[in-house]
Amino acid sequence: MLGFLIAAAAGFLTPQIESALAKPIMSALEKHIPVTPNETRAIAFMVALLGAAILVALVDSGSVFGVIVGAILGYFGLRIFNVIKGVIEGRSDG
């Protein structure tokens, strides 16, 4: 369960680490391989997942499946919440 929570936090923090970590990594990568600006978020997500994986391994908690589901739910959590909220509000109006 702790691994799931760590990964969910990593997914949620992906947009915040985009400029701090992903852009410097992209600058270093551009010297060796072509990287497009629209890949910044993907690189930030990979960095966040790498950090989550290291933390999960250090605390020895969670499975790979839990980490993956946690990261996905953390990344898309606000969007999923807003969709569910919209569905509930739509039903209460009718």
Each residue's pLDDT, cut to its tens digit, for the chain (94 residues) gives: 888 899 899 999 888 888 888 888 888 988 899 888 888 899 999 999 999 999 999 998 878 888 889 999 999 988 999 999 989 888 755 4
- Secondary-structure percent of the chain, ordered helix, strand, coil, rounded to 5: 85, 0, 15
Instruction: Write down the pLDDT at residue 36.
Output: 87
> Which two structure tokens, joined as six digits, stand for 67?
């980490």
Quote the CA–CA distance of 50 and 44 in Å, as a whole number. 10
Quote the CA–CA distance of 52 and 74 in Å, as a whole number. 12
Place of tokens 């629209």: 38
